[in-house]
């Protein structure tokens, strides 16, 4: 895309997509989180300590503070919690704690891409 304003390669960008907002039933926080999780899933590098045999799913380790930071300040702690709750309820993400380190309380998230795509297609067809 042509940029009018100076665009550094280091510049971090958060997208709020209309389609994501629709798929999350108008929950703006959930759509921002979905966008962040998609971005993180794409750029994911697996940690060998966390791989469970037979499980090839991508699990994103992310704290609430990290979500807020990655949203460029668009999210607050409460918005993040409610957004994640919406995504779990809609069945777009799965949650787990670290599979081996029981003391590690940072929650990991897995984005169910097919589920999101299904909903997006359904919305598109309805329109």
Residue ranges binding other proteins (CB under 8 A): 1-21, 26, 28, 31, 34, 38, 41-42, 69-70, 72-74, 111, 113, 116-117, 120-121, 123-124
Rg of the chain (C-alpha set): 16
For the bound state, the minimum distance from the C-beta of residue 24 to other proteins, rounded and expressed in Å, comes to: 11
* 53 vs 125, beta carbon nearer other proteins: 125
Q: What is the dihedral of CA 119, 41, 46, 64, to 10 degrees?
A: -100
Q: Tell me which residue has tokens 């921002």.
A: 32
Contact indicator for 68, 77 with CB cutoff of 8 Å: yes
For the bound state, the minimum distance from the C-beta of residue 125 to other proteins, rounded and expressed in Å, comes to: 10
* 13 vs 105, beta carbon nearer other proteins: 13
Contact indicator for 34, 92 with CB cutoff of 8 Å: yes
* 97 vs 120, beta carbon nearer other proteins: 120
């Amino acid at each position: 895309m042509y940029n009018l304003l100076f665009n550094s390669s280091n510049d971090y960008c958060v997208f709020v997509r209309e389609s994501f907002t629709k798929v999350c039933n108008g929950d703006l926080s959930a759509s921002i989180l979905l966008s962040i999780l998609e971005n993180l899933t794409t750029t994911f590098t697996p940690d060998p300590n966390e791989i469970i045999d037979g499980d090839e799913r991508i699990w994103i380790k992310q704290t609430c503070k990290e979500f807020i930071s990655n949203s460029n300040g668009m999210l607050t702690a409460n918005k993040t919690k409610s957004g994640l709750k919406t995504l779990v309820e809609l069945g777009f993400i799965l949650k787990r704690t670290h599979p081996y380190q029981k003391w590690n309380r940072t929650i990991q998230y897995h984005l169910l891409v097919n589920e999101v795509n299904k909903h997006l297609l359904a919305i598109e067809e309805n329109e």
